[in-house]
Amino acid sequence: MDDQLNYAPCGFLSLSKDGFILAINETLLTLLQYQREELQGKHINTILTVPAQLFYQLYFVPLVNVEKKIEEIHTSLQSVDGREIPVIINGLARNKGDRIEIDCVLFPIQKRSRYEQELLTAKKEAEAALLAKNEANSRLEAALQDLKQKQAELLELNKQNHAYKQSTEKELELARKIQETSLTDPIINEHIHIESFYQGSNKLSGDIYGFYQLDSYRYGIILLDVMGHGISSALITMSLHSLFQRLISRGVNTETVMHELDHYLHNLFQNNKEAWHYCTAINLVIDTNEKTIEYINAGHPPAFWQDESGQVQELSSKTPPLGTFEGIHFKTSSFAYKNGGRLLLYTDGVTDPLGTDSLCTLIEHNDAMPLIKLKDHIIDSLQKQTLSDEKSDDQCFILVDLK
């Protein structure tokens, strides 16, 4: 074998009629990582994968016997280390004296289907060189027409999307106004002063609250935070709002209110666990005549109670959030006060930027500050923190002064 063939940029091997290797060039030996003496005289199955061995017997051999040649046959070789090497084989059977030899040229490929398509495309382009330009122009014209059509469709789709976006924004804005309208107004009289702050992270919020005067001396307050925020949470808060508003306004005790809210959430999602939501809640009844406060905290951040001496204590949670476990027993806690005091109820959207300790400190250091100014002070602190740390949750708090 001369050097030109031995080091050609493609593999070469010569086979006997029975498939034994008579000659193999250095290019193919290097590709397979074999030494010449390891393959010389061996059957071609030595360098074929198992599927390729079957292909050789069932297709290659009959084709050579009939056609005396093969063209662009895809198969796979196997190197010394077991690596599969896809190749394309061209072969020609020749009579040499009293025997037949099959000379094969092998082209390694990485992606057989892609290479096959490229060869097919190249062949067609070579056969129709003159026609190719016209076809290309025709395809270009068709592509331009298609592009114009797609552009028109895209413009129409953008127009529809814009209209849908505007409609959705109007609906969300209306829903936000409805949600905010449902929130109660401040209560100010000789016994009590209640103020609130509410700010959703989106147009709609998962936070909801209500405070109601039950009779001449009693007041009911509730604050809920539904898991997540946005449309799904807002829909749940609104359905819970109608329920707790009806219950609290009728003077139903705290245990019953929490039980009914918990029962409602379980029934709401009993047939769709994937849509399941829970909520934290704190519910209080303040009696300004008896000077007592009854409360239940269900998984909610602890409220702060500041007595007349300025001391602050937490009204911590003693039960899991609403909607988590069936059969939760809600037990009311209570305490008495003497000469007034101050309450702060809040959601975790307030403590996330400020921190629970900072919020407690803010209450302790401003015990003499009027309620309205304290409310503005907390809002200002939240807004300053939001400038450096993007707000990602709904923010809501309630301040109560007892006189």
Using one digit for the tens of pLDDT, what is the confidence trace for 324-381?
998 899 999 999 999 889 999 999 888 888 888 888 999 999 988 999 999 999 999 8
Task: State residue 115's pLDDT score.
Answer: 59
Answer whether residue 92 shows pLDDT above 60: yes
Answer whether residue 53 shows pLDDT above 80: yes
Q: What share of the chain has pLDDT > 70, as a percent?
A: 89
Please give the distance of CA 337 from its chain centroid, rounded to a whole number.
49
Query: What are the phi and psi torsion angles at 299 (to 5°)?
Result: 70, 10
- pLDDT, tens digit, 9 for 90 and up, residues 239-268: 899 899 999 999 999 999 999 999 999 888
Strand order in the sheet with 312-315: 187-188, 192-199, 395-402, 341-346, 303-307, 312-315
For residue 162, give the 3-state DSSP assignment.
Answer: helix
Residue type, 108: P
Task: State residue 391's pLDDT score.
Answer: 52
- Specify which residues 193 forms β-bridges with: 188, 401
Task: State residue 26's pLDDT score.
Answer: 94
- pLDDT, tens digit, 9 for 90 and up, residues 372-383: 999 999 999 888
User: Whole-model pTM?
Assistant: 0.57
Confidence label for 128 from pLDDT (cuts 50, 70 and 90): confident
Confidence label for 214 from pLDDT (cuts 50, 70 and 90): very high
Task: State residue 93's pLDDT score.
Answer: 93
More confident: 387 or 233: 233
| Range 288-314 average pLDDT | 95
- pLDDT, tens digit, 9 for 90 and up, residues 266-285: 888 776 666 678 899 999 99
